[in-house]
């Protein structure tokens, strides 16, 4: 069972709809203690880094997520949920993230292109990871964001180009993050969710 | 690079897709959830429902339509028509809509744009602007299907929408809508040149070349069409193949 973490700042239902459609067992949970019974975790997120981290800390999920990750459970962060996997965010001042992947989160330098970066952008595959098995260069996924991760190429599986390099899919051991919305990215996104589920059940 | 988007629009009344033909009234033509699934399969980049229901019962039916669509379609879903309050936003977003489009309610109460953007984020606030040429030049904002001229300059209104936090503008030309002679290039350019948010061109497409034209000659980020797709004169796939042959980036 995949736990969809409900800490008050997520697009929980679209993630749940996608998992239900794929017949992947899942449960929305607002109780950190329930993560122990889950085989994998999805951390969604919409809004600002600082507010979301505050809610994550206050709800008790920060420690619970770290414990479960340490125990080896797969974790997938989506959009802001992906950004929070990093060490620090700089939206409305410096805020500590979960610190599960080295790097930080900065505003996109779009070189005059529109912000937010919103719409279908194509991906370039840099490193294969368990989630990117079905992703090919040029596949489009749906982005909505104004900040992006700044991290070593070692952790980037796929990136989009929007004036600068935008990490799209990141990975580090059992931790994964998608800056785009796999649950809104048609077949390509569904493939990524399926691969995450496969990781959880095997 | 961001792809140019192709967005089919479905007019929904009392939970059924409806379409007027030659002004001889409205006929029911199908199940909105199934139509949305079909468009998704054709490669639609986003799906828009326009609720033309007037009754209270019809509105709760629309929420069910959105909920069922969101369980079966995994591209962004926009819902417009009759949205008046922040609470209307909340209900539709909770049902699974990704973006909400407001038209006359925003014209009459621009504060609605700011409040919705503050509460739910600009990314889900689309302002639909219906515009018509003025005799002395420029464009005026009209509402109620063009029946009421608000005596507002469309360009100034588009700028205000952006300033108030709109994430996108759905721009329909009342001069070209329904004429199938092509999108209103002049209007689309006038608006897309003054705002920094995406502009969706709507109204007037009748053939493949109209799609390549609007992307080649204006700053439009997306193009929306209803009848053309509805009556299967063209499929989304055909439009995308055409755009690709013109080297316009589209999602495959």
CATH of A2-92+102-201, one of 1.10.260.40, 3.40.640.10, 3.40.50.880, 3.40.980.10: 3.40.50.880
Which residues in chain A have their CB less than 8 angstroms from residue B221's CB?
A: 119
Active site (catalytic) residues of A? 79, 181, 183
Q: With H, G, I as helix, E, B as strand and everything else as coil, classify residue A190.
A: helix
Which residues in chain A have their CB less than 8 angstroms from residue B7's CB?
A: none
Whether chain B has a CB inside 8 Å of the CB on A186: the answer is yes
In this prediction the ipTM stands at 0.91
Residue in chain A lying closest to B96 (CA): A14
Residue A184: which of B72, B76, B198 has the nearest Cβ? B76
Residue B26 has a pLDDT of: 66
Beta strand residue intervals within A30-179, DSSP E: 40-43, 75-78, 86-89, 95-96, 101-107, 117-125, 140-145, 147-150, 156-162, 164-172, 175-178
Residue B145 has a pLDDT of: 81
HEC profile of A126-167:
CCCCCCCCCCCCCCEEEEEECEEEECCHHHEEEEEEECEEEE
Q: What share of chain A is helix, strand, coil (3-state, %, to 5)?
A: 30, 35, 35
Whether chain B has a CB inside 8 Å of the CB on A180: the answer is no
**What are the tens digits of pLDDT across the range B116-132?**
998 888 889 999 999 99
Check whether B22 has a pLDDT greater than 80.
no
In this structure, the strands spanning B199-202 and B222-225 are parallel
Q: What is the mean predicted confidence (pLDDT) over A108-131?
A: 94
**What are the tens digits of pLDDT across the range A49-108?**
998 999 999 999 999 999 999 999 999 999 999 999 999 999 888 999 999 999 999 999
Alpha carbon distance A61, A77 (integer Å): 13
CA angle B81, B125, A17 (to 5 degrees): 85
**What are the tens digits of pLDDT across the range B52-76?**
876 777 778 899 999 999 999 999 9
Check whether B115 has a pLDDT greater than 90.
yes
Residue B25 has a pLDDT of: 63
Nearest chain A CA: its distance from B22 CA (Å):
34
Confidence of residue B6 (pLDDT cuts 50, 70, 90): very high
Residue B23 has a pLDDT of: 46
What value does the mean pLDDT of chain B take? 93
Q: How far is CA B167 from CA B44, B88, B98, in A?
A: 20, 18, 12
Residue B54 has a pLDDT of: 65
Check whether B85 has a pLDDT greater than 70.
yes
Residue in chain B lying closest to A193 (CA): B74
Question: What count of CB pairs under 8 Å joins A to B?
Answer: 70
Nearest chain B CA: its distance from A145 CA (Å):
9
**What are the tens digits of pLDDT across the range B159-181?**
999 999 999 999 999 999 989 99
Nearest chain A CA: its distance from B40 CA (Å):
8
Domain ranges of chain A: 2-92+102-201
Task: Give all domains of chain B, ordered by start, each with its CATH number.
Answer: 5-245 (3.20.20.70)
Which residues in chain B have their CB less than 8 angstroms from residue A118's CB?
A: 123, 167-168, 198
Whether chain A has a CB inside 8 Å of the CB on B5: the answer is yes
Whether chain B has a CB inside 8 Å of the CB on A116: the answer is yes
Residue A21: which of B3, B72, B76 has the nearest Cβ? B72
Q: How far is CA A117 from CA A160, A181, B7, B140, in A?
A: 11, 13, 18, 30
Residue B20 has a pLDDT of: 61
Q: What is the mean predicted confidence (pLDDT) over B227-232?
A: 91
Residue B24 has a pLDDT of: 53
Whether chain B has a CB inside 8 Å of the CB on A136: the answer is no
Whether chain A has a CB inside 8 Å of the CB on B167: the answer is yes
Whether chain B has a CB inside 8 Å of the CB on A162: the answer is yes
Alpha carbon distance A141, A168 (integer Å): 9
Q: What is the mean predicted confidence (pLDDT) over B82-102?
A: 93
Alpha carbon distance B211, B54 (integer Å): 32
Q: What is the mean predicted confidence (pLDDT) over B37-63?
A: 88
Helices and strands in chain B, H and E counts = 10, 12
H/E stretch holding B68 reads helix B56-70
Check whether B15 has a pLDDT greater than 60.
yes
Residue A46: which of B94, B121, B198 has the nearest Cβ? B121
């Amino acid at each position: 069972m995949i736990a969809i973490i409900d800490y008050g700042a997520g697009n929980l239902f679209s993630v749940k709809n996608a998992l239900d459609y794929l017949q992947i067992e899942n449960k929305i949970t607002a109780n950190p203690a329930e993560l122990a019974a889950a085989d994998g975790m999805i951390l969604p997120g919409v809004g600002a880094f600082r507010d979301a981290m505050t809610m994550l800390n206050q709800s008790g999920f920060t420690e619970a997520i770290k414990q479960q990750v340490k125990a080896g459970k797969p974790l997938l962060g989506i959009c802001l949920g992906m950004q929070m996997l990093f060490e620090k965010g700089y939206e409305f001042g410096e805020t500590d993230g979960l610190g599960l992947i080295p790097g930080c989160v900065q505003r996109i330098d779009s070189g005059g292109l529109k912000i937010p970066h919103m719409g279908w952008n194509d991906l370039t595959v840099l490193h294969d990871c368990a989630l990117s098995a079905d992703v090919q260069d040029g596949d489009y996924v749906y982005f909505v964001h104004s900040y992006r991760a700044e991290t070593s190429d070692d952790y980037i599986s796929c990136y989009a180009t929007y004036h600068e390099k935008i990490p799209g899919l990141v990975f580090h051991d059992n931790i994964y993050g998608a800056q785009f919305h796999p649950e809104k990215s048609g077949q390509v996104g569904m493939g990524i969710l399926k691969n995450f589920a496969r990781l959880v059940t095997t | 690079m961001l792809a140019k988007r192709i967005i089919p629009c479905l007019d929904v009344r009392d939970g059924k897709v409806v379409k007027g033909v030659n002004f001889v009234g409205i006929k029911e033509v199908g199940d909105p959830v199934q139509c949305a699934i079909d468009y998704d399969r054709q490669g639609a980049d986003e799906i828009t429902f326009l609720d033309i229901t007037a009754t209270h019962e019809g509105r709760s039916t629309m929420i069910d339509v959105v909920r069922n669509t969101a369980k079966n379609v995994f591209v962004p879903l926009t819902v417009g028509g009759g949205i008046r309050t922040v609470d209307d936003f909340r209900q539709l977003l909770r049902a699974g809509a990704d973006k909400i489009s407001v038209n006359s309610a925003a014209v009459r109460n621009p504060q609605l744009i700011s409040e919705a953007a503050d509460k739910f984020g600009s990314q889900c606030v689309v302002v639909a602007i219906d515009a018509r040429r003025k005799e002395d030049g420029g464009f005026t904002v009209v509402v109620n299907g063009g029946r009421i001229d608000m005596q507002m300059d469309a360009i100034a209104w588009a700028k205000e929408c952006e300033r108030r936090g709109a994430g996108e503008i759905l721009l329909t030309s009342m001069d070209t809508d329904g004429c199938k002679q092509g999108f209103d290039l002049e209007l689309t350019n006038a608006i897309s040149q003054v705002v920094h948010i995406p502009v969706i061109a709507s109204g007037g497409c009748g053939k493949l070349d109209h799609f390549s034209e609007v992307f080649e000659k204006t700053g439009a980020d997306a193009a929306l069409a209803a009848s053309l797709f509805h009556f299967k004169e063209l499929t989304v796939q055909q439009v995308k193949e055409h755009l690709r042959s013109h080297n316009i980036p589209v999602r495959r």
